[in-house]
Amino acid sequence: MKAFTQLNGLACPIDRANIDTDAIIPKQFLKSIKRSGFGPYLFDEWRYTDHGEPGMDCRIRPLNSSFVLNQARYKGAQIMLARENFGCGSSREHAPWAIEDYGFRVIIAPSYADIFFGNCYKNGMLPIVADEAMVDQLFKECQANVGYSLHVDLPSQTVTLPSGESFGFEINATSKHNLINGLDEIGLTLMHADEIKVFEAKHKKNQPWLFT
């Protein structure tokens, strides 16, 4: 998992409330569990005017020009602005896979569905909870200013706007440590690899019949 400390990134507004995981990555794309390659299908039904299926070459598909991800001013965005209850619906981990694979590292919203919120951390993304007044301000400024970028600093837990104004955000100590050090559950387990090997050797010696 990629470590996260600071990011100065272009913001992109997804101005809809209660966006569910089927909108983020439609169900037909759940056939794959590779964790990569989902970026081109992010918000598939809003992004394209045809019906998407796995394996399609999205470079030649007809685009919905009114959708924000298809607008040149938001190309390369790494910070997503969203409304309340983002990531609701099914618990599919493909949703954060698609968002991260597209290139987003940070999401800022007033609230999230619990499972989606936790899955973001597991996939190297930082979901920030901000109050509705601040989210409204971010949306207004982003939509009014081309190239609107935010500076996110995880160690200090702050987001700084182009004006210099900043706000803080909460994150639990474990999630913060894991993001800064690029550790998911597998990475955390591998930190104890030597201890695991010692245990396995002892277990095999004491109960050899389990290994025949």
Residue-wise pLDDT for 117-169, tens only, equals 999 999 999 999 999 999 999 999 999 999 999 999 999 999 999 999 999 99
Chain segment 4-52, per-residue pLDDT in tens: 999 999 999 999 999 999 999 999 999 888 888 999 999 999 999 999 9
* pLDDT, greater one: 185 or 48: 48
Predicted local distance difference test score (pLDDT) of residue 191: 59
Output the average pLDDT for the chain. 92
- Among 4, 50, 55, CA closest to 29: 55
6-181: CATH, from 3.40.50.300, 3.40.50.1950, 3.20.20.10, 3.20.19.10:
3.20.19.10
Any idea which of 48-52, 92-96, 127-131, 182-186 has the lowest mean pLDDT?
Answer: 182-186
Q: Is residue 188 very low, low, confident or very high in pLDDT (cuts 50, 70, 90)?
A: low
What gap in Å lies between CA 151 and CA 180, rounded to an integer? 16
Give the pair of three-digit tokens for residue 40.
């081109």
Contact 9, 152 (CB under 8 A): yes
DSSP-based three-state secondary structure for 118: helix
Name which of 55, 51, 5, 56 is nearest 32 in CA terms.
Answer: 55
Return d(Cα 26, Cα 28) in angstroms, integer: 6
N-term to C-term CA, the chain? 36
The pLDDT value given to residue 199: 75
User: Residue 192 above 60 pLDDT?
Assistant: no
What confidence score (pLDDT) does residue 6 get? Answer: 97
Residue 211's pLDDT band, with cuts at 50, 70 and 90, is confident
Type and span of the H or E element at 66: none
Whole-number pLDDT of residue 142: 98
Residue 53 CB neighbour total at 10 angstroms: 12
The mean pLDDT of 58-65, rounded to a whole number, is 97
Chain centroid, CA 12 distance in Å: 13
| Nearest CA among 48, 41, 75, 46 for reference residue 62 | 48
Q: Computed from CA positions of residues 177, 182, 186, 187, in that sequence, does the dihedral angle turn out positive or negative?
A: negative
CA distance 169 to 205: 50
pTM of the full structure? 0.88
Domain-by-domain residue ranges, the chain?
6-181
